Structure 1
Amino acid sequence: MSAAPIRVLLADDQHLVRTGFRIILEVEDDITVVGEAADGARAVAMARTTRPDVVLMDVEMPGMDGLEATRRITDDGPGAPAVLILTTFDRDDYLFTALRAGASGFLLKNGTPEELIEAIRVLARGDGLLAPEITRRVISTFARPGDPAGTAHQRAGAEASLGALTPREREVLVLLAAGSSNAEIAATMYLGEATVKTHVSRVLAKLGLRDRVQAVVFAYENGVVRPGE
């Protein structure tokens, strides 16, 4: 029996853009578009009624923008869809706000259809996605020595979560922050990939993180790793 198709919600204020995305995605046997929203408020409402696996989210929309919509969608807790930010605006403030809002991926609209399709599949599997150039910008911005991450209460919570990690799990977190795949982590730590997958799942659960993208941000914001390490 074939697996259920990946359910995708499109959120973009331009009708032609949504139509283009729908055409690209619906030729794929494993993807189905479950709805379209022209603004952030509608995207939030439809995410709760259509139960997509992935929301394709524009940033600049009338009324509630895509960043606030992302925050509200991901705040719905377990079972909330993964959000893939797709924008023409290659701006750091959008990128970092989106990541802090809980987005699991970030792509520019000048990418290829193949990149978009693969990104949706990656997010549907529960992984996060950042292009290498975006990862470098995340590292350079989130890893400024002396920059406190959040309030004292938030920092204390992060320290407590880190304290719950075993030494091996902390090593996995460091390798995640470097952008290593499960196969690369397995080779580095001389473990099987299935064991690595279990460790990654435990790290994310203990730190209260959705995916590997959030693990990268968490590690650099909280000084687990620093640039050049």
Structure 2
Amino acid sequence: MSAKEYSTVLRVGMVDDHRSPVWGIERILEDVPDLQLSTSATTVGALLDQTRNLDVVLLDLRLGDGTTPMENVSRLAEHQIGTVVYTSGEHPDLLRSAARAGTLGVVLKSASEQEIVDAIRAAGHGEEVLTTEWAAAIDGDPNLAAVNLSPQLQRVLTLYASGGTSASVGAELGVAPDTVNEYLKRIRQKYADAGRPTRTKLDLFKRAVEDGWLPMPQRSVSDDGYQP
């Protein structure tokens, strides 16, 4: 889907305690009609004091107020605001902290303008920003507790997390939709017990990628540069 096909303008916030990255994002977004940099601040608290009417926030990993990425991502999530970590990428431990807190992804400050725009747009629409940096942060996490799923539960997870419904998954496996829902309850409980909650379908997709049940998707570039 191209930018011009979106009927709404995404409200973007930015948290960075250095002005130059903010100026850079202002310049990048000034000619992008469906993305608007609504506000910026040096801390998440200051940003939320200004407005909570945001779709996505670009979040720097290291802030001068001493807050952690996990604290900041979690605090924004409480207000239904998604985050994309915007970083130079030299702190893998902080990236892992943000990944565990549920950030939608990571984009490097050295990325191309189009990559940055695509990442903001995808996250603003609730999509994962699946980059090499995000995958590396997950793969290198020594605290990522493994979840053992039976072959049947693996199949349910992969089908459902790939976009299926309880009805379509049931038809594929030859079971009733209510049985699929019961399987999903078991899957969610197993991840909750491992400290890796799956409150949404997007969470299930993320867990499936983390554990290798689903491959890291390849995002193809369309004519206008947007990667659906």
1:172: which partner in 2?
159
Can you list the C-alpha shifts for 1:170-229, whole angstroms capped at 9, x where unaligned? 2336xx6xxxx76xxxxxxxx9xxxxxxx9xxx7xx631373687237853xxx8599xx
Question: Residues 30, 209 of structure 1: CA spacing in aligned structure 2 closer, same or farther, 3 A cutoff?
Answer: same
1:5: which partner in 2?
9
- Tell me the matched-pair count: 182
Distance 1:60 1:214 in 2: 28
1:61: which partner in 2?
63
Can you list the C-alpha shifts for 1:86-135, whole angstroms capped at 9, x where unaligned? 11133221111001122111111111111000001111221111213541
Q: Which runs of 5+ in 1 are unaligned?
A: 150-154, 183-190, 192-198
2:129: which partner in 1?
129
Percent of aligned positions that are identical: 22
1:107 and 1:130 in contact (8 A); partners too: no
Can you list the C-alpha shifts for 1:63-104, whole angstroms capped at 9, x where unaligned? 143612212111x1xx61110001113322111100112211
CA RMSD of superposed structures (Å): 3.9
Alignment partner of 1:34: what SS? strand
1:194: which partner in 2?
none
Question: Residues 23, 44 of structure 1: CA spacing in aligned structure 2 closer, same or farther, 3 A cutoff?
Answer: same
Question: Residues 66, 4 of structure 1: CA spacing in aligned structure 2 closer, same or farther, 3 A cutoff?
Answer: farther
Q: Which moved more, 1:50-59 or 1:133-142?
A: 133-142
Question: Residues 33, 122 of structure 1: CA spacing in aligned structure 2 closer, same or farther, 3 A cutoff?
Answer: same
1:106 aligns with 2:131: no
Q: How does 1:36-185 map to 2 (within 5 A)?
A: 36-46=40-50, 49-65=51-67, 67=69, 68-74=71-77, 76=78, 80-141=80-141, 149=145, 168-172=155-159
The alignment's TM-score, normalised by the length of structure 2, stands at: 0.64
Amino acid at match of 2:96: F
Distance 1:2 1:107 in 2: 22
Question: Residues 89, 167 of structure 1: CA spacing in aligned structure 2 closer, same or farther, 3 A cutoff?
Answer: closer
- Give the structure with the higher percent helix: 1
Can you list the C-alpha shifts for 1:138-171, whole angstroms capped at 9, x where unaligned? 23536xxxx773xxxxx9xx89xx89x9775323
1:43 and 1:69 in contact (8 A); partners too: no
Question: Residues 110, 169 of structure 1: CA spacing in aligned structure 2 closer, same or farther, 3 A cutoff?
Answer: same
Distance 2:141 2:209 in 1: 12
Q: Which runs of 5+ in 2 are unaligned?
A: 164-171, 173-179, 189-197, 216-228
Amino acid at match of 1:115: E
Provide runs of 4+ in structure 1 moved above 4 Å.
165-168, 224-227
Question: Residues 226, 18 of structure 1: CA spacing in aligned structure 2 closer, same or farther, 3 A cutoff?
Answer: closer
